[in-house]
Amino acid sequence: MTMAIKHPLAITMWDFSWIERRWPGAGYEDWDQVLDELQERGYDAVRIDAFPHLIAVDPDRPWTLKPEWSVQDWGSPALNTIHHLKDHLIEFISKCAQRNIYVALSTWFREDLENHRMNIHSPEDMATRWIRTLDHVADAGLLDHILYVDLCNEFPLSCWAPFLAPALGKPVGTEVRRNTPEGNAWMKTSIDLVRAKYPQLRYCYSITSEYDTLATEDVSFMDLLEPHIWMAQASDFYDRVGYHYERFSMTGYENLVASAEQLYRSNPAHWIGCLEQQIQQIAKWSIASQKPLVTTECWGVVDYKDWPLLKWDWVKELCEAGVRSAAGTGRWMAMATSNFCGPQFVGMWRDVAWHRALTDLIHQSPLPK
């Protein structure tokens, strides 16, 4: 493995924002500044999109990307172009290494104008793209700073892996279950191939679904488990609020403004209890599978941002409850304080004391045995 971890790490998710959100005021214009601020808040690691499907095609050409959404503050809300992707990836990892901040590589398989992600037709194709990307990291002498490689964010959701269904002979947009022979074979084959080239790294597929069949899922070929856990997905909270993950409509946020905090405040013990119940379920899965946990997206609501009439207090309250519950299990190798720990979420980012209190708690918790 790349390193021996002496205590649980505090990790954050900077997804594709690390390179997409570099226009004035977007938060990531100055990597030295934001990495210093991340370190000031007590974080040891960051999970980013390595864009393997684009780097493998051409590491140097400009790539124009379509927006995943217009209403969220991850990535770009409109058409955007990124340049010199490979060079920027190496530069970013190098800046992290200078600060002893480890990097987890993942991918959301962002859609470019030519939709190159749809050229992935097999697990072998996926492995080849990752190997080519890791070759650049290895050539730069930076493999020791890679915490783990997540071959696909929240696999096998069609929003992030739209190529999977057609590759398996199903219509585009069909949701494929991970815990099936075909889903399992895809994960195992791709990981085995990348591991054959780079055996010193840790590998996984992050997940946020199929929590009802964890007990029967084969994860023997993974080095860690990365489940994404939120109160809002562990309960009927979003149904009651009227939030439905709208990507290009403000309706969801209008409903959050109207009733989200009020609903939470009406019975916080109930909503925290829903979160803690799922945390305990995941901890038991970790024990049964003998795999350590990493969670980089968590603990309260899935989507949020700085917005009129939206407050951060109740979100931070939920996130603190999640960190305390997860840390107490002793099953997490690394965990986030929320999925809003980035400079574009000003209301969350500027509370340095809150971050320090929770990252201290994470560092003081036990490692999985």
For the stretch 278-288, pLDDT in tens is 999 999 999 99
Token pair for 319: 């996130």
Query: What's the one-letter identity of residue 190?
Result: S
Helix axes 31-40, 85-98, angle to 10 degrees: 40
Judge: domain 9-364, CATH 3.20.20.80: yes
308 neighbors 347 (Cβ within 8 angstroms): no
pLDDT for res 176: 93
Question: Quick check: 114 and 105 in contact, CB under 8 A?
Answer: no
pTM above threshold 0.95: yes
What six digits make up the tokens of 247?
């990507």
The strand ranges marked E within 276-330 are 293-295
Pairwise CA distance, residues 120 & 161, whole Å? 9
Q: Specify the DSSP element, H or E, that contains 92.
A: helix 85-98
β-partners of residue 102 are: 45
Give the residue-averaged pLDDT of 251-273: 98
Residues 102-123 have pLDDT tens digits of 999 999 999 999 999 999 999 9
Of 134, 170, 167, 159, give the one whose Cα is nearest residue 149: 134
Q: Give domain limits for the chain.
A: 9-364
